Amino acid sequence: MSQTTNLIVKMAPIIFVFLWATGFPAAKFGTLDAEPFTFLGYRFAAALLLLALIIFVIVRPKKIDWKQYAHSMLVGVLMHGLYLGGVFYAVSKGMPAGVSALIVALQPFLTALIAWVILGEKLSFIKALFFGVALFGVFLVLFPGFDLSDAIPGITVKTFTAGMIAVFGISVGAVYQKRCVTNLNLWIGSSAQFLGAGILMLFLSFLMESQKVVWTLNTALSLAWLVCVLSIGAVALLMYLIKKGDATSVASLFFLVPVVAFAMTWVLFDESMNAVQILGGGIVVLSVALATRYG
């Protein structure tokens, strides 16, 4: 392996985490001129079309397990529909994008908790302990004045509920995928997930929105970034990491996502935190890092 190739392999997990973090400021940009569920509907439809092209032109599967495909559609409803739908809705209603990234950072803890309840997997004391510590950190971020009646701007019952739906959606989806989707090609599985999520967004768009999208340059660029770079590029990078046997490096670095996301939203939208909130955010990130390493 050449030095250049070796460097690319080592940098790939960091690049993946960076790309994943861009989804939070992109949610802010994407919902400036469009309703969240309608915008996500366009995103999933465009991603599905591109994936279909990749599957039928490049992958050319000889056989598709349609039972697994159906399971993947349900995974998509949970991991993309509820997760991204919750994040985009919360951000569109005023929740700081950096704060939404911190809330979603609780996902590894909730996934372990759900796996313990549903699959009977062992829940380590360390992970349970750090989960409680991380919740305290989130409390400091949301209520830096230690007053439940005085949350930071953008934190309402609606936005907080949407954030919790997002983290529960991706957590339950991760457990369901582990249990029910075992041998489906990643490209095909991703297409099934986008199809399931797209159907959910279509339903929510007609139920709660007016399907309003103002096609500004900002909207178009946000959609292009989310589809090409995140929905397609990140999947391709993940496949590369799996092939190289280095996918675990992504998990070990995922605690950096809220840090990177907050730095981006601070620069792009001037979303700042006071000292108490920075302490709370640090507690969340450190808890996730330590639980991943030792839990």
**Helix ranges, 77-216 (H):** 83-92, 97-104, 107-118, 125-142, 157-180, 186-208
Q: Which residue has the higher pLDDT, 10 or 185?
A: 185
Confidence of residue 1 (pLDDT cuts 50, 70, 90): low
pTM, rounded to two decimals = 0.91
Residue 179 has pLDDT above 80, yes or no: yes
Q: Which residue has the higher pLDDT, 10 or 43?
A: 43
- What percent of the chain has pLDDT above 70? 94
Q: Which residue has the higher pLDDT, 160 or 254?
A: 160
pLDDT tens, residue by residue, 233-265: 887 887 777 667 666 667 677 888 999 999 999
Confidence of residue 276 (pLDDT cuts 50, 70, 90): very high
pLDDT of residue 3: 66
Averaged pLDDT score across all residues of the chain: 89
280 near 133, Cβ under 8 Å? Answer: no
Angle between helices 83-92 and 186-208 (to 10 degrees): 40
User: What is the residue type of 188?
Assistant: I
Residues composing the chain? 295
294 near 126, Cβ under 8 Å? Answer: yes
Give me 179's structure tokens. 């249990």
For 6-14, the CB contacts below 8 A with 24+ separation are 9/244, 9/246, 12/237, 12/240, 12/241, 12/244, 12/246, 12/249, 13/241, 13/246, 13/249, 13/250, 13/252, 13/253, 14/253
- Mean pLDDT for 116-136 is 88
